[in-house]
Amino acid sequence: MNQETKFELFKALHDGDEAFVIPNPWDAGSARLLACMGFEALATTSAGYAFSKGKLDSFASLSREEILANAAEIVQATDLPVAADLEDGFGADPKICAETVRQAIEVGLVGGSIEDATGDESNPIYPLPMAVDRIRAAADAVQGKPFLLTARAESYLWGRKDLLDTIRRLQAFSDAGADVLYAPGLPDLEAIRTVCRALDKPVNVVMGLQAPTYTVAQLAEAGVKRISVGGSFARAAFGALQRAAVEVRETGTFTYASDAMPGAEISKVMSNKKLSDRE
């Protein structure tokens, strides 16, 4: 399936009547497994990728090159549309954000998000005019290209719990050309409903990040179009690994294996492509 076809499928999910879940694999193997579970699109997770590399999920730890390389592996692992967590665009300058989304398209991605967080704890959120300029530059760069741009307002993740300000930011990002709007960390279903009512573009909400959690049906009723899981699937996998290790280390037993996915089942979803140059 070519990139344009994937983009049209991805766009149709956002234009449809129903909410959809877009899970977040962290590597090619988890992408292949999720693709076989019936999901219609995938999104990368900077957190999940960072954990798999033994790194912190932070601007200081992750480069654009490695994030896009990871995304490319996920794109190549399935025929599903794939969007990417592009962090802050990997630079403050709007031109850098524009270059990031251009490179994202080159590796086969059909969507990606740019956030308004700076990575600086003393000044964690870009001033609104600068944040808007960054989204506008990215939107201009993907104009007419097979790519849906998501703009993220990160204030709630940085302790700035001002719903009206978050809405103003998302509205400004929409006016600047963003296709999808996203404010991770909203406190409750009523806040989510208020955000959805105030916006004219599809809204993404993340579940599994923190309590409380809601069902797909509840989020759809509130007006949410797209539901992601961020790094929570990766954390669930790490949790299973930790529980297995604790059992072996502390009790000397191996009962965890009864809950593990059988190797035969894993083999069914993995690529059987063979090396052509193997002697």
- Which contiguous run of DSSP H or E holds residue 103? helix 94-106
What is the pLDDT at residue 277? Answer: 65
| Pairwise CA distance, residues 234 & 146, whole Å | 28
> What's the order of all strands across the beta sheet hosting 203-206?
20-22, 226-228, 203-206, 180-182, 148-152, 111-115, 82-85, 42-43
Per DSSP, the three-state class of 59 is: coil
Under 8 Å between Cβ of 51 and 64: no
What is the residue type of 6? K
What is the pLDDT at residue 275? Answer: 66
Q: How far is CA 206 from CA 245, 267, 274, in A?
A: 29, 30, 37
DSSP code of 273?
Answer: P
List, for residues 28-80, the tens digit of each pLDDT value. Answer: 999 999 999 999 999 999 999 999 999 988 877 899 999 999 999 999 999 99
Under 8 Å between Cβ of 35 and 53: no
pLDDT along the chain (279 residues), means of 10: 97 97 98 97 97 87 95 98 97 98 98 95 95 98 98 96 98 98 97 98 95 95 98 97 98 97 92 70
What is the pLDDT at residue 46? Answer: 96
Q: Nearest 10 degrees: CA dihedral of 114, 115, 119, 125? A: 140
Q: What's the predicted TM-score (pTM) here?
A: 0.95
List, for residues 110-131, the tens digit of each pLDDT value. Answer: 999 999 999 888 999 999 999 9
What is the pLDDT at residue 168? Answer: 98
The separation between CA 65 and the C-alpha centre of its own chain, rounded to angstroms, equals 17
Strand pairing category for 20-22 and 226-228? parallel
